[in-house]
C-alpha cells in the first residue's frame, strides 16, 4: 500500500521499527558497501582504536533510514533526500529503534519531510530528515 500525499498530515507518526544489531549484519553491510575500515569488521582493532567493539558504518545507517521511510511510504514513493547525523555507535548485541514524524508538507511536487530518529541503549544513533515524494494531490 502506498501513502497518498493528500492523506498525510504534519504530525503523523510512523510506526516504530526495531532492528536487532548483530555482528554479522554490521560486518556484512560494511563489506557490501565496500567500507573496509577495520573498525567495522575487526573487534580487536576497533578496541585498539577506542571503541568497545566493531560498529555500524554510515552507509548502512543511511540504508536503514531509507528502508524505514520507504516501508511507511510505499512502493510508489520516491526518496528525494536523506540528511542524517550520527551519534552513539551501533554495536553488536544492541537494538536500534527507528521512529519518525511527518514534520512538513510541500505542495510543489507532493513532498513530505519526515524527522527520523534511531536510538540504541547508549542513546541516539541517528537523527535527521528524509524528504519523500508521494503520489496523489497537487502536482
92-126 residue pLDDT tens: 999 999 999 999 999 888 999 999 999 999 999 99
Half-sphere exposure of 83 (CA within 13 A, CB side): 7
- The pLDDT, as a whole number, for residue 1 is 76
Percent of the chain with pLDDT over 90: 88
Residue 103's domain comprises: 5-133
Q: What is the pLDDT of residue 37?
A: 85
CA distance 24 to 30: 10
Task: Assess if residue 115 is contained within a domain.
Answer: yes
Q: Which residue's C-alpha cell is 575487526?
A: 42
**Residue 102 within any structural domain of the chain:** yes
What is the per-residue pLDDT for 137? 59
Give the domain CATH number at 78.
Answer: 3.10.129.10
Local confidence band at 77 (pLDDT 50, 70, 90 cut-offs) = very high
- CA separation for the pair 102, 108 (Å, rounded): 16
Residue 23 has pLDDT above 90, yes or no: yes
Buried b (16+ CB within 10 A) or exposed e, 1-12: eebebeebeeeb
Residue 85 lies in a domain: yes
C-alpha cell at 41: 569488521
Amino acid at each position: 500500500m502506498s501513502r497518498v500525499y493528500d492523506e498525510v498530515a504534519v504530525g503523523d507518526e510512523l510506526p516504530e521499527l526495531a532492528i536487532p544489531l548483530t555482528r554479522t549484519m554490521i560486518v556484512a553491510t560494511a563489506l557490501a558497501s565496500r567500507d573496509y575500515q577495520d573498525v567495522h569488521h575487526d573487534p580487536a582493532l576497533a578496541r585498539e582504536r577506542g571503541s568497545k567493539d566493531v560498529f555500524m558504518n554510515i552507509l548502512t545507517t543511511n540504508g536503514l533510514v531509507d528502508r524505514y521511510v520507504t516501508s511507511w511510504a510505499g512502493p510508489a514513493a520516491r526518496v528525494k533526500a536523506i540528511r542524517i547525523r550520527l551519534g552513539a555507535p551501533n554495536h553488536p548485541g544492541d537494538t536500534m529503534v527507528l521512529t519518525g514524524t511527518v514534520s512538513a508538507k510541500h505542495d510543489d511536487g507532493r513532498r513530505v519531510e519526515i524527522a527520523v530518529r534511531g536510538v540504541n541503549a547508549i542513546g541516539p544513533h541517528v537523527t535527521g530528515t528524509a524528504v519523500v515524494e508521494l503520489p496523489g494531490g497537487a502536482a
